[in-house]
């Protein structure tokens, strides 16, 4: 079958030396961070090109630029040697670039065929949708890809894997030459992955170029022809996967000096404050056990989706755990709401500043005091605003929050200052256990250093800190020990003196 | 020469005025003044008399709007949490018929409860308020525990409460009420009740923890949960308060009319929502003040009596009212977009 498909559809490139897709000198900056710094790579027809890199290395930003979601600040994108400007996903599609997103974009209450041909439905003479033709087209497409799904079934009845197949078929239906797959196997079983790879190989034979983003080392060697590695928004290199070993890839991904940006002070480590025993949340994470001591900073590393944030959410009662025990000061506690966790002296700085952190419409004062009001500064229900305002002012000064006054709306602050306000929200409650989820994500270097210093100071005062971070230097620089998670399980806890990037990457990708 | 001097001096003062941070109510207050002046001018032209400086008319404006005002104070809090309450008008009817049924005089042969006539004023009032409270608690519990959208939950109670009122009365008016009960609705009493509610909940929103949590929930519900606020419990309180205030409004309505009818309060919920939105409360939640709501209520009142005053047909009034409501929401969205950029 693949032979005949190849005969019908010869390789799309006019000449073998012109790459299907070539990008050069791409720069993209977001407020406070340079996500991509003069990045480039080339994709050749008939190859699978894997992109590797840690979280935040810039892969996703790059893919979004190629797919027309973001426009770059600098640099050029060439399709078959011709420079193009991609202002929207539609532009990208028209230039033969289709992206299969990590989060699927299908409409659950429409049929498979309707989803694939949406906005391109074949019409009858009366201008109505020609359902017969729609089904025939879908069947032809599916035959070409060896997909076995009923075109008339509603998408919501399909498994995640089958939805993925439909997405791929949809991308192919545009006759795109370039297909971008962003971690397509993250929700698939082994068998489904095999099927996916069969399809990918078929597409390769048909002369398509496939950009394949993955975190999984074994997939890389199974499916990819070439590998490009990114780190901290920079392009590190492209190699043939046949010439690479697993260790070399890891070294390319992490190979950097740990700078002395992190003022780690050795502070006396105290008693165990928080013990976690076999904590689990059904289908999310399992058997998580660790001890956290006063004055200790325990780093929690792992890829996005490894269950790191879910553990913190369970500890704080946002989504309570379904199995296992939490002990505070050796006593078993049941934590099923954030209010209870706070009563046990916990505080939780969430990962997503906008979604679960800031009250964007409210002023800084309200953002600072919302947690502490549950316990202090209130008499007969009335807020004692004078001492509250005084203490918040003090807190704002000591954290050097840059604002004319606390009556300013938090929306107007920079990311770093917003993060400082959120940290003060929790410091106001004088916590003994501080859970930090990506405390420095998306903020500038100066504010980052200040937050690192602050966390170190807090540990010095005997606060027990659990710090989730995707930034390897931060984890290594700040932590006394590093716990690593992979697919919902703890794969290791490493002491500071034994921890290095290669070891942690290995545990994280297992 | 002197003219030039004057403008030179006036300019920095204007600039200073512009730079000062005005409370958000100033804008709509100016709208209220503007509308009043418009009717004042047209009034002199058409009728040869003042619109504003007429105590009797002022009293009527405020009296008419007092019931809507009491409801709006509660609806304001609901909308600040990012919700909506469509049941207020039906609660008015339910509370009106129940309170009236316990306020009938003993020499009326066809009383709803022949044994329960000539009761002291406390019983009908308590009954009316309780009816509101119960429906509010149902709203709040539905929203908190089943997580259905407030629009749907209160749409359900809106229909059901109206049905209850009709069933309770057999669609007949409940009349022949005691003088004592009628006193609640007489004179300026409804206005006093409205202003009292407004003052109380102004204080609650501005100076209490309850108020702070209310804004927090509307501004970012997820963040409120993570900050340790018991959001579900708080929402139940909020809808209970809104129901209770509608219950009070229903009792006042029955007292003013000296009769309880299942057809009372139709569309009051929409007037209340309109007043709240005109008063600057954002339907997206997190923003709003009682002072704005009071001004919003006054704007609606001035418009209604103003149009009557300059003898514009009631049908036109409704059309204009619709336009004003939409304009207020558009202005709200525009304001928000400006804040975001």
- Reference A360, options A289, A421, A306; nearest CA is A421
- Name the residue in chain B with its Cα closest to that of A386: B207
Q: Do A360 and B229 count as a contact with CB atoms less than 8 A apart?
A: no
Instruction: Give the separation between CA A283 and CA A491, rounded to whole angstroms.
Output: 17
- Neighbouring C-alpha atoms within 13 Å toward the C-beta of A367: 34
Where would I find the beta strands (DSSP E) of A396-508? 433-437, 464-468, 481-486, 489-495
Q: Is residue B268 part of a domain?
A: yes
First to last CA, chain A: 37
Q: In chain B, what residues touch A374 (CB-CB under 8 Å)?
A: 227-229
Number of neighbouring beta carbons within 10 Å of residue A269: 16
For A365, name the nearest residue in chain B, comparing CA atoms only: B212
Q: Check residue A104 and report its DSSP letter.
A: -
Question: Which residues are paired to A98 by β-bridges?
Answer: A179
**Selection from B68, B220, B49, B239 nearest residue B140 by Cα:** B239
What residues of chain A lie within 8 A of the CB of B282, using their CB? 361
Residue A307 CA to residue A314 CA, distance in Å, equals 10
Contacts of B223 in chain A (CB under 8 A): 350, 355-359, 370
Q: Which residue matches tokens 């906008």?
A: A354
> Which positions in chain B have a beta carbon within 8 angstroms of at least one beta carbon in chain A?
207-210, 212-213, 215-216, 219-220, 222-230, 282, 286-287, 339-340
Contact (CB, 8 A) for B254 and B99: yes
| A360: nearest CB among B212, B220, B224 | B220
pLDDT of residue B9: 47
Is residue B36, in this structure, part of any structural domain at all? no
Question: Do residues A300 and A311 touch, judged by C-beta distance below 8 A?
Answer: yes
CATH of domain A267-345+431-510: 3.40.50.300
Residue B29: its pLDDT value, please?
Answer: 86
Chain B environment of A361 (Cβ under 8 Å) = 219, 282, 286-287, 339
> Kind and range of the H or E element at A300?
strand A297-302
Query: Contact at 8 Å (CB) between A237 and A42?
Result: no
Query: Residue B145 domain-assigned?
Result: yes
Task: Identify the CA nearest to B273 among candidates B29, B89, B36.
Answer: B89
What pLDDT score does B332 carry?
66
d(Cα B132, Cα A424) in Å, to the nearest integer? 41
Quick one: which of B61, B89, B214, B95 has its CA closest to B165?
B95
Q: Is residue B224 part of a domain?
A: yes
Per-residue pLDDT of chain B in tens (341 residues, 90 and over written 9): 444 444 444 455 555 555 556 677 777 888 888 888 888 888 888 877 888 787 788 878 888 899 999 999 999 999 999 999 999 999 999 999 999 999 888 887 777 787 777 788 899 999 999 999 999 999 999 999 998 999 999 999 999 999 999 999 988 898 888 888 989 988 889 999 999 999 999 999 999 999 999 999 999 999 999 999 999 999 999 999 999 999 999 999 999 999 999 999 999 999 999 999 988 898 889 989 999 999 999 988 888 888 888 888 878 888 887 887 788 778 767 765 655 44
Rounded CA separation A131/A151 (Å): 11
For A424, what's the count of Cα atoms within 13 Å in the CB-facing half-sphere? 25
Lowest mean pLDDT, pick from A14-28, A208-222, A430-444, B258-272: A14-28
Considering only A244-258, A338-352, A419-433, which range has the smallest mean pLDDT? Answer: A244-258
Two structure tokens written together for B90: 């039906």
Structure confidence at residue B15 (pLDDT): 54
| CA atoms of B97 and B260, how far apart (whole Å) | 4
Residue B338 confidence (pLDDT)? 57
Give the span between the Cα atoms of A40 and A24, in whole angstroms.
Answer: 4
Contact A488, A286 (CB under 8 A): yes
Cβ separation B230–A337 shorter than 8 A: yes
Domain boundaries along the sequence of chain A: 2-251, 267-345+431-510, 361-430
User: Could you tell me if residue B37 is inside a domain?
Assistant: no
Beta bridge partners of A433: A346, A464
Residue B35 placed within a domain: no
**Would you state the structure tokens that stand for residue B55, as one six-digit string?**
């105590």
Please indicate whether residue A329 or residue A145 has the higher confidence score (pLDDT).
Answer: A329
Q: Do domains A2-251 and A267-345+431-510 have the same CATH topology?
A: yes
- Cβ-contact B163, B93 below 8 angstroms: no
**Are the CB atoms for B260 and B127 separated by under 8 Å?**
no
What pLDDT was estimated at residue A12?
Answer: 43
pLDDT at A81: 87
Give the burial string for B291-309 (b: 16+ CB within 10 Å, else e): bbbbbbbbbbbbbbbbbeb
CB distance A425–B220 less than 8 Å? no
Q: How confident is the model at residue A424 (pLDDT cuts 50, 70, 90)?
A: very high
User: Among all residues of chain B, which has the CA nearest to that of A377?
Assistant: B209
Q: How far is Cα A17 from Cα A93, in angstroms, rounded to an integer?
A: 23
Q: Which of B330, B316, B215 is nearest to B278 (CA)?
A: B330
What length is written for chain A?
A: 510
Residue B276 lies in a domain: yes
Specify the pLDDT at position B335. Answer: 64
What pLDDT sits at residue A372? 92
**Which of these, A29, A48, A43, A45, lies nearest to A78 by C-alpha position?**
A43
Enumerate the β-bridge partners of residue A482.
Answer: A299, A494
* Token reading at A458: 């807090």
A382 contacts in chain B (CB < 8 Å): 207-209
Q: How far apart are CA A260 and CA A281, in angstroms?
A: 37
SS3 B84: coil
When the pLDDT of each residue in chain A is averaged and rounded to a whole number, the result is 85
Instruction: Give me the number of domains chain B comprises.
Output: 1
A289 Cβ contact partners less than 8 Å away, ≥ 6 residues apart: A276, A277, A278, A279, A324, A490
Question: Checking DSSP bridges between strand A21-30 and strand A33-43, what pairing results, if any?
Answer: antiparallel
Of the candidates A378, A316, A324, the one whose C-alpha atom is nearest the C-alpha of residue A351 is: A316
Model ipTM over 0.95? no
Specify the DSSP element, H or E, that contains A426. Answer: helix A415-427
Burial, A166: exposed, middle or buried (Cβ in 10 Å; 0-12, 13-18, 19+)? buried
**Tokens representing A434?**
């501080």
CATH number, domain containing residue B251: 1.10.3470
Percent of chain A with pLDDT over 70: 92
Q: Which fold, A2-251? A: Rossmann fold (3.40.50)
Give chain B positions within 8 Å (CB) of A373.
Answer: 209, 212-213
**Three-class SS of B128-173:** HHHHHHHHHHHHHHHHHHHCCCHHHHHHHHHHHHHHHHHHHHCCCC
Global confidence as pTM:
0.76
- Region of residue A401 (phi > 0: left; psi between -120 and 50: alpha; otherwise: beta): beta
Q: Of the candidates B208, B220, B229, which has its C-beta nearest A381's C-beta? A: B208
Tell me whether residue B300 is in a domain. Answer: yes
Establish if A366 touches chain B: CB-CB under 8 angstroms. Answer: yes
Q: A314 near A320, Cβ under 8 Å?
A: yes
Q: What is the pLDDT of residue A422?
A: 94
Distance between terminal CA atoms of chain B? 44
Its domain, for residue B141, covers 60-340
- Residues β-bridged to residue A281: A285
Contact A338 B226 (CB under 8 A): yes
Residue A355 DSSP code: I
């Amino acid at each position: 079958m693949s032979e005949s498909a190849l005969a019908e559809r010869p390789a799309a490139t006019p000449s073998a030396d012109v790459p299907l897709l070539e990008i050069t000198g791409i720069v993209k900056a977001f407020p406070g961070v340079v996500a991509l710094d003069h990045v480039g790579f080339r994709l050749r027809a008939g190859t699978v090109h894997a992109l590797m890199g840690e979280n935040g290395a810039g892969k996703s930003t790059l893919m979004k630029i190629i797919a027309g979601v973001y426009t770059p600040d600098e640099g050029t994108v060439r399709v078959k040697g011709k420079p193009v400007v991609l202002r929207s996903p539609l532009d990208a599609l028209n230039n033969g670039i289709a992206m299969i997103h990590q989060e699927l974009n299908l409409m659950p209450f429409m049929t498979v065929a309707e989803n694939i041909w949406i906005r391109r439905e074949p019409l009858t003479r009366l201008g109505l949708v020609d359902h017969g033709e729609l089904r025939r087209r879908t069947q032809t497409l599916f035959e070409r890809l060896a997909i076995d799904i009923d075109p008339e079934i509603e998408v919501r009845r399909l498994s995640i894997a089958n939805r993925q197949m439909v997405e791929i078929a949809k991308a192919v239906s545009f006759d795109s030459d370039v297909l971008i797959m962003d971690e397509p196997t993250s929700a698939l079983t082994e068998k489904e992955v095999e099927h996916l790879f069969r399809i990918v190989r078929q597409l390769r034979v048909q002369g398509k170029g496939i950009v394949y983003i993955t975190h999984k080392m074994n997939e890389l060697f199974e499916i990819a022809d070439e590998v490009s590695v990114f780190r901290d928004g920079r392009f590190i290199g492209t190699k043939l996967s046949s010439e690479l070993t697993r260790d070399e890839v890891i070294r390319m991904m992490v190979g950097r000096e740990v700078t002395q940006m992190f003022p780690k002070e050795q502070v006396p480590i105290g008693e165990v404050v928080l013990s976690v025993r076999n904590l689990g949340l059904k289908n999310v994470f399992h058997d998580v056990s660790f001890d956290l001591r006063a004055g200790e900073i325990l780093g929690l590393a792992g890829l996005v989706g490894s269950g790191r944030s879910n553990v913190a959410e369970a500890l704080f009662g946002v989504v309570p755990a379904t199995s296992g025990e939490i002990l505070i000061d050796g006593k078993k506690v049941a934590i099923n709401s954030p209010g209870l966790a706070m009563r046990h002296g916990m505080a939780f700085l969430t990962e997503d500043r906008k979604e679960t952190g800031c009250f964007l419409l409210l002023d800084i004062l309200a953002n600072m005091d919302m947690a502490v009001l549950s316990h202090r500064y209130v008499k007969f229900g009335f807020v004692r605003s004078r001492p509250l305002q005084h203490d918040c002012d003090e807190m704002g000064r000591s954290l050097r929050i840059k604002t004319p006054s606390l009556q300013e709306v938090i929306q107007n602050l920079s990311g770093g200052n917003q993060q400082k306000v959120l940290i003060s929200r929790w410091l106001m409650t004088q916590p003994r256990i501080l859970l930090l989820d990506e405390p420095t994500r998306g903020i500038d270097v100066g504010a980052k250093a200040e937050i690192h210093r602050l966390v170190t100071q807090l540990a010095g005062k005997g606060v027990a800190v659990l710090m989730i971070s995707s930034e390897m230097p931060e984890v290594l620089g700040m932590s006394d020990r590093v716990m690593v998670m992979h697919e919902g399980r703890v794969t290791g806890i490493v002491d500071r003196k034994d921890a290095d990037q290669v070891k942690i990457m290995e545990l994280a990708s297992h | 020469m002197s003219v030039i001097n004057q403008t030179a001096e006036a300019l920095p003062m204007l600039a200073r005025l512009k730079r000062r941070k005005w409370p958000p109510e100033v804008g709509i207050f100016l709208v209220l003044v503007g509308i009043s002046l418009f009717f004042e001018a047209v009034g002199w032209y058409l009728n040869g008399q003042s619109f504003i400086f007429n105590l009797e008319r002022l009293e009527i404006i405020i009296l008419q709007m007092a019931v809507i005002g009491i409801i709006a104070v509660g609806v304001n809090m609901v909308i600040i949490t990012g919700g909506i309450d469509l049941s207020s008008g039906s609660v008015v009817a339910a509370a009106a018929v129940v309170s009236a049924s316990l306020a009938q005089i003993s020499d009326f042969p066809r009383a709803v409860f022949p044994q329960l006539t000539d009761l002291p004023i406390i019983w009908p009032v308590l009954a009316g308020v309780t009816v509101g409270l119960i429906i509010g608690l149902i709203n709040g519990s539905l929203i908190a525990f089943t997580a259905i959208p407030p629009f749907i939950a209160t749409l359900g109670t809106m229909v059901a409460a109206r049905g209850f009122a009709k069933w309770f009365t057999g669609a007949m008016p409940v009349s022949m009420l005691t003088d004592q009960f009628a006193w609640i609705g007489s004179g300026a009493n409804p206005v006093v009740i409205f202003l009292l509610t407004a003052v109380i909940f102004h204080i609650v929103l501005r100076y209490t923890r309850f108020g702070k949590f209310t804004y927090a929930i509307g501004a970012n519900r997820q963040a409120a949960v993570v900050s340790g606020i018991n959001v579900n419990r708080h929402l139940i309180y909020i809808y209970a308060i809104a129901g209770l205030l509608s219950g009070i409004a229903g009792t006042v309505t029955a007292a003013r009319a000296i009769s309880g009818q299942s057809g009372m309060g139709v569309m009051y919920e929409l007037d209340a929502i309109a007043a709240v939105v005109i008063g600057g409360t954002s339907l997206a939640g997190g923003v709003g003040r009682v002072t704005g709501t009071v001004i919003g209520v006054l704007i609606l009142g001035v418009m209604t009596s103003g149009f009557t005053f300059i003898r514009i047909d009631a049908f036109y009034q409704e059309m204009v009212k619709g336009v004003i409501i939409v304009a207020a929401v558009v202005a709200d969205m525009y304001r928000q977009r400006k804040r975001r950029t």
